[in-house]
Amino acid sequence: MRKEDILEEFIRTALAEDIGQGDFTTLAIVDKDKNGQAQIIAKQNGILAGIEIVKKTFFPLDHDIQFETQFKDGDKIDVNDTVIIITGKILSILKGERTALNLLAHLSGISTLTAKYVEEVRGTQAKITDTRKTTPLLRDLEKEAVRAGGGINHRMGLYDMVLIKDNHIQAAGGIREAVNKCKQYLGENKLNLKIEVETTNLNQVRDALACDVDQIMLDNMALNMIREAVNIISGRAVVEASGGISLKSIRSIAETGVDLISIGALTHSAPVFDFSLLLEGA
């Protein structure tokens, strides 16, 4: 199934979850043919993400709804900024309001949190990247939001990179065995994928380096061990720090010389951004 089809089905399901048999409050109060205008307004400062998903959310309800905005994903927005103006049948606007706002708030929360991490490592070579700790069926949108906040994406799924983790190492009998099996499999199946190995100590770092892999993850290592690992690797592989990283600790980690810092919290723990939708005259 195409990603576009997955997204469309997700939106239809999300709307159905909220509307059910009908928005009886709006049906009782609003004339079905009455048109109006609504504004989505920012209630805090941050980075916008999800502007297109707002449009896609209303589209199944009413193809005639019109949108006007001066903003795009990645733009800085401030308190009381009118992010988007929606014009059309009030019935349709109110039906889609909560689903659209939930998605916009979630994605803008991700981009805003990502931007904070990016700012903390400014001036170092480290780049902020996400993980696969995403909401099922929202991965593409959440990873777009990370990019809007100035971060970059790690692998999109299990299919676009080989990442040998602790369970793989255990199953294979060691790092060297796991890497050799992966290289053999990639060759036999004509797959051109990068190989990364997760390590938790310096002996594992040395083993991974000896296997000539593309990337080495330093998982939950102390700061002094990260520095030593960076010195051992010495530019022969991309170095990724991961695990338990916070806004307080990230600057020190970035200054060790790592190339990437992956943070699951960007997508699984970002606070939602505060928006409101107001009808004209409300």
Catalytic site residues?
98, 133, 165, 198, 219
Longest dimension (CA), the chain: 71
Which candidate, 65, 69, 15, places its Cα nearest to that of 35?
A: 65
* Alpha carbon distance 168, 179 (integer Å): 10
Interstrand relation of 35-42 and 260-262 (parallel, antiparallel or unpaired): unpaired
* Alpha carbon distance 12, 95 (integer Å): 12
Which candidate, 97, 144, 47, 152, places its Cα nearest to that of 276?
A: 97
* Alpha carbon distance 46, 113 (integer Å): 8
* Alpha carbon distance 66, 87 (integer Å): 5
